[in-house]
Each structure stands twice: as structure tokens, then as C-alpha cells.
């Protein structure tokens, strides 16, 4: 007798019935870039379909995403000027702070998350302050905490530190609590690899390091056990949600972190993953929409509870159809 798994694949309805993993618009967190100006919606060349918004147009974009059922967005800011310490990152009238309060004004229920890091705001492009030619961990913590507090004050629901300094979750938690933002959560980029897949984002956010690279603070792509250590540390320090980044080349890490984590696990389907699909799609080499959906369901199947993805809007269009 032949054992026949194909019986469960015979019709679309049977396949629907036995499907193990599902994808929903509720899984998505849409990344958005905000810059100064008015009425701006400027295409990002390295990420077709993504834009630099000004505060007024980003509110419209957030409304559209909310209308599609996407519950959450995460902001990245392009400041008007950069300096050695990234001081525009904690300015109360900073670009992200403005965008958060404008969106929260219009859409109080939408989950607004902010990326907390210095690299977009420093003239050297590193995620921390430089001392003796090196990225200095402990003096960076205070600046990150200060930035997080201004995001909370503007109305953010979660702050998402992406800098990979040691001890930053604890430092941010403490600062938020002292300022009475006990209810504001931390989505920690707990497991963040030193990845070339961030290339298109660094173009978009103008945040490439001006010397050296990020291997002194972001993780070595060869390491998995270390990922578990990072995840555990961030949970101990008080992270409410932990993230693995990038997603597609690190599905094994998402699975292992999911198995160990007692908090929700997010995965970041990063700019390079997006750009590769877009580029091959534009060439006619792949069916872009099918590849997109397969990629997203694979990230879910690996164990992600939520996905940060530039595909959010496009995929929502398909899921809602
Ligand atoms: C900032 C930050 C980066 C990304 C998110 N936050 C870039 C980096 O670490 O160099 C990458 C996101 C993407 O590639 O989509 N530290």
C-alpha cells in the first residue's frame, strides 16, 4: 500500500483546512521613513515602492495602513543635521517626535513604535558615541535612554532600540520608569546580526558608518548560541518583545529564539530582502507577489509572532482581497 499525503492536497478547500500556518495583516509592522518638509513623498531609489515622507504625508500613509488593518508602524528619522553625539535624536521637536505626535493625534489606537538608535543622527554614522576611535558602550546608554524618553513623551507605544549596546534595555527601562512611562514597552532588537542585507536601508536612512563597520557591536552571522544569550539577556533586562534581524537568512535563529522566549518574537524582513525581490521582480525573473507571500509565510512558520516588513501594504492588499 502506498501512503498518500497527496490526499490532503487534492482541492483548495482541503489545503485550506490542513494549512498549519497563517498570515494576517495583524502580523505586520510597517517601517516608515520621515524627514523634514511639507507635502513630501519622495521615492527611495534602493527600495522601490518605499518613500521618504514628511510629517503631513506620513499621517496619510499611516491612515491608509490602518485602513488596511495593519495595526502598527515603526518610524525611522532623517534629521535636519547630524553631529558627533546624534543630539537631534533626543530633541523634543525632532523629526520622529513630530511624526509620532502627529500620527497619534489622528490615530490614537494605532500602535506606534520608534527605532531608537544614533546612527541616523551621528556624523560618523555609528550607533554609539566614539571615544578613542571606538564605539563607547556605556556613554551611549544615557543618550539612548534620553532619546527613548522623548519618543515616549511624544506618544510612542513602544521604543525599539536597534543599537546593540550592552545593557541598553535595562538603561531605557529605568529611564522610562523614572519619567513615569511605565506603560511604554520595549521592543528590543535583541538578536541583530552585522548584515550586508541592511545596505538599501543605509542608503535610505543615510546611516552608513563613515569608518570601519558594525561588527564590533552587531552579531557575527556564524553564531547561533550567542543569539540565545542575547535574547535571554534582553528578556532579563525587561524587553516586552524581542526581535531577530534579518529574517530570511536567519530562519533557524527565529525558530530557536521562539522556542526559548517567554515574550513575543518579532522578525525584521529587512531592506536587502525586500530589494532583492523587487529587483528580480522588475527584471521579470521571479513572480514578485508570489515570492513575497512565500517569504512572509516562511517567516511566520519559522516562529515569528510578528513581522516588520516593507511588504506590509502590498501583502495586506493581497490578504484583504
Ligand atoms: C539602525 C537600524 C538599521 C536597520 C534598522 N535600524 C541599520 C543598521 O543597523 O545598519 C536596518 C533595517 C533594514 O535594513 O531594513 N541601527
CATH of domain 21-319: 3.20.20.70
Q: What is the DSSP track for 230-260?
A: HHHHHHHHT-SEEEEESSGGGHHHHHHHHHH
CB 271 less than 6 A from any atom of ligand 1: yes
Q: What is the pLDDT of residues 44-75, one digit of tens each?
A: 999 999 999 999 999 999 999 999 999 999 99
β-pairing, 41-43 vs 51-53, is antiparallel
Show the cell assigned to 111. 500602535
Output the pLDDT for position 58.
98
Contact 69, 316 (CB under 8 A): yes
pLDDT at res. 321: 87
Structural contact between residues 38 and 45, judged by C-beta atoms closer than 8 angstroms:
no
Comparison of pLDDT for 203 and 143, the residue scoring more: 143
pLDDT, tens digit (0-9, with 9 covering 90-100), for 110-132: 999 999 999 999 999 999 999 99
Q: How confident is the model at residue 4 (pLDDT cuts 50, 70, 90)?
A: very high
Longest dimension (CA), the chain: 73
Beta bridge partners of 33: 52, 76
| pLDDT, mean of residues 219-232 | 98
The pLDDT score that the predictor gives to residue 258 is 98
Q: What is the chain's percent helix, strand, coil content, to nearest 5?
A: 45, 20, 35
pLDDT at residue number 154: 98
Which three three-digit cell numbers place residue 218?
552587531
For ligand 1, is residue 275 a contact (CB within 6 Å)? no
Q: What is the mean pLDDT of the chain?
A: 97
Measured in whole angstroms, how far is the alpha carbon of residue 162 from the centre of its chain?
8
Ligand 1 centroid to 11 CA: how many Å? Answer: 42
Active site residue 41: no
Q: Are strands 129-131 and 28-35 parallel, antiparallel or unpaired?
A: unpaired
- Please state, in angstroms and rounded to a whole number, the distance separating the CA atoms of residues 97 and 95: 5
Query: Residues 160, 164, 170, 175: is their CA dihedral positive or negative?
Result: negative
CB 82 within 8 A of CB 121: yes
Alpha helices in the chain (DSSP H): 12-18, 55-67, 95-106, 137-154, 168-178, 199-205, 225-237, 251-260, 271-283, 288-302, 312-320
Contact 73, 110 (CB under 8 A): yes
Residue to mutate (ligand 1; options 207, 208, 249; most atoms within 8 A of CB): 207
What single DSSP character describes residue 221? Answer: T
Ligand 1, atom 14, residue with closest C-alpha: 198
In degrees, rounded to 5, the angle at the alpha carbon of residue 60 between the alpha carbons of residues 54 and 61 is 80
Q: Can 192 be counted among the known catalytic residues?
A: yes
Ligand 1 in contact with 162 (CB < 6 A)?
Answer: yes
Separation of 91 CA from ligand 1 center, angstroms? Answer: 21
Contacts of 259 (CB under 8 A, 6+ apart): 303
At residue 28, the pLDDT reads: 98
Which atom of ligand 1 is found nearest the CA of 199? Answer: 14
Catalytic residue among 192, 278, 300, 313: 192
Whole-model pTM over 0.95: yes
**Catalytic annotation, pick one of 35, 82, 104, 245:** 245
Cell numbers for 316, please give them.
495586506
Assign 175 a pLDDT band (cuts: 50, 70, 90).
Answer: very high
Amino acid at each position: 500500500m502506498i501512503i498518500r499525503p497527496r490526499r490532503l492536497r487534492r482541492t483548495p478547500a482541503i489545503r485550506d483546512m490542513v494549512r498549519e500556518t497563517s498570515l494576517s495583516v495583524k502580523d505586520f509592522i510597517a517601517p516608515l521613513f520621515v524627514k523634514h518638509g511639507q507635502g513630501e513623498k519622495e521615492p527611495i531609489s534602493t527600495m522601490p515602492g518605499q518613500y521618504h515622507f514628511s510629517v503631513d504625508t506620513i499621517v496619510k500613509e499611516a491612515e491608509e495602513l490602518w485602513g488596511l488593518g495593519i495595526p502598527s508602524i515603526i518610524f525611522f528619522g532623517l534629521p535636519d543635521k547630524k553631529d558627533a553625539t546624534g543630539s537631534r535624536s533626543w530633541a523634543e521637536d525632532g523629526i520622529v517626535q513630530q511624526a509620532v505626535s502627529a500620527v497619534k493625534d489622528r490615530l490614537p489606537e494605532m500602535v506606534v513604535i520608534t527605532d531608537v538608535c544614533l546612527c541616523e543622527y551621528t556624523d560618523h554614522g555609528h550607533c554609539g558615541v566614539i571615544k578613542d576611535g571606538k564605539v563607547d558602550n556605556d556613554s551611549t546608554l544615557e543618550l539612548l535612554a534620553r532619546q527613548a524618553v522623548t519618543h515616549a513623551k511624544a506618544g510612542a507605544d513602544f521604543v525599539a532600540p536597534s543599537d546593540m549596546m550592552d545593557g541598553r534595555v535595562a538603561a531605557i527601562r529605568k529611564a522610562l520608569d523614572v519619567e513615569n512611562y511605565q506603560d511604554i514597552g520595549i521592543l528590543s532588537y535583541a538578536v541583530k546580526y552585522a548584515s550586508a542585507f541592511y545596505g538599501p536601508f543605509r542608503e535610505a536612512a543615510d546611516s552608513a558608518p563613515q569608518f570601519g563597520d558594525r561588527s564590533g557591536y552587531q552579531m557575527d552571522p556564524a553564531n547561533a548560541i550567542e543569539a540565545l544569550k542575547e535574547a535571554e539577556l534582553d528578556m532579563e533586562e525587561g524587553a516586552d518583545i524581542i526581535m531577530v534581524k534579518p529574517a530570511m537568512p536567519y530562519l533557524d535563529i527565529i525558530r530557536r529564539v521562539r522556542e526559548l522566549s517567554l515574550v513575543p518574537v518579532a522578525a525584521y524582513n529587512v531592506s536587502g530582502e525586500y530589494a532583492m525581490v523587487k529587483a528580480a521582480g522588475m527584471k521579470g525573473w521571479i513572480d514578485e507577489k508570489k515570492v513575497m507571500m512565500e517569504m512572509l509565510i516562511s517567516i511566520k512558520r519559522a516562529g515569528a509572532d510578528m513581522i516588520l516588513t516593507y511588504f506590509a501594504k502590498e501583502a495586506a492588499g493581497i490578504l484583504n482581497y
